[in-house]
Amino acid sequence: MDNFTDTYTSANYRMVKTFVYGLVIFALLVGLSLYVSIQLHITEIGIIAWILICTVPFLFRRGFKRVFSRKTDLLFGKQGLLIKEYKSNGDLAKEYAINWNEIKSYRFQFMTDNVTNLVIIFKTRSTKSFFFIDEKYTKEEPDEISVYSLFVKYIKIYNAGKGDGEKILTKLNVFSVGTPDL
């Protein structure tokens, strides 16, 4: 798969890894604060620690996002999509080569904090989910260059010469209202 005509640079946010690490750290801090509060027989320490543990992470959301993100290049072409993830030192960490003819459907979800979730459902019934840090907020902004606009552009190109049974379909989110725009 080659002849890529569009390239877009973003960051792939490893949300599941962030959640797992965050949950472990949260549990350890709660356990530590309970232990200290019980050992010192001072309930206020436990209450203050609980409040801090629950509120402070919101102040460091962007820092967490930076730590758990990787620079990502998306290369779009008529035959498919190539996604390259890089480590912080610039070495290639992962590479995903996806041919358009392998995709059954896809779904986008625009989350808070500039995170765009792309779920690709393959004809083999397996799925792959990506969380990109992107400036794109909704599908109502189709003219801006983004993961969403480039992906939809190449899906439309692929679907142009296909019959109904061969087209890549747009799946609606659970919370979506209305019909897909393809």
Amino acid at 174: V
In a domain, 180, yes or no: no
Predicted local distance difference test score (pLDDT) of residue 141:
56
Cα distances (Å, whole numbers) of residue 102 to 22, 96, 127, 130: 35, 13, 11, 17
Name the nearest CA neighbour of 106 among 153, 141, 149, 155. Answer: 155
19 and 49 co-located in one domain = yes
Predicted local distance difference test score (pLDDT) of residue 115:
85
Interatomic CA distance for residues 138 and 135, integer angstroms: 10
Q: How many domains does the chain have?
A: 2
Predicted local distance difference test score (pLDDT) of residue 62:
73
CATH classification of the domain holding 149: 2.30.29.30
In a domain, 182, yes or no: no
80 and 124 co-located in one domain = yes
Low-confidence residues of the chain: pLDDT under 70: 1-2, 135-143, 172-182
Cα 45 off chain centre by? 37
48 and 127 co-located in one domain = no
Domain housing 58: 15-66
Domain ends where: 66, 83, 98? Answer: 66
Q: Is the distance from CB of 150 to CB of 8 less than 8 angstroms?
A: yes
Predicted local distance difference test score (pLDDT) of residue 47:
87
75 and 152 co-located in one domain = yes
Q: Is 6 left (phi over 0), alpha (psi -120 to 50) or beta?
A: beta
In a domain, 144, yes or no: yes
Q: Is the distance from CB of 84 to CB of 124 less than 8 angstroms?
A: no
Predicted local distance difference test score (pLDDT) of residue 178:
43
Interatomic CA distance for residues 14 and 134, integer angstroms: 14
Rounded (10°) CA dihedral 80, 141, 9, 123 = -30
In a domain, 158, yes or no: yes
Domain ends where: 32, 47, 66? Answer: 66
107 and 160 co-located in one domain = yes
Predicted local distance difference test score (pLDDT) of residue 98:
95
Interatomic CA distance for residues 114 and 133, integer angstroms: 6
In a domain, 59, yes or no: yes
Name the nearest CA neighbour of 106 among 84, 83, 129, 85. Answer: 129
59 and 88 co-located in one domain = no
In a domain, 179, yes or no: no
84 and 127 co-located in one domain = yes
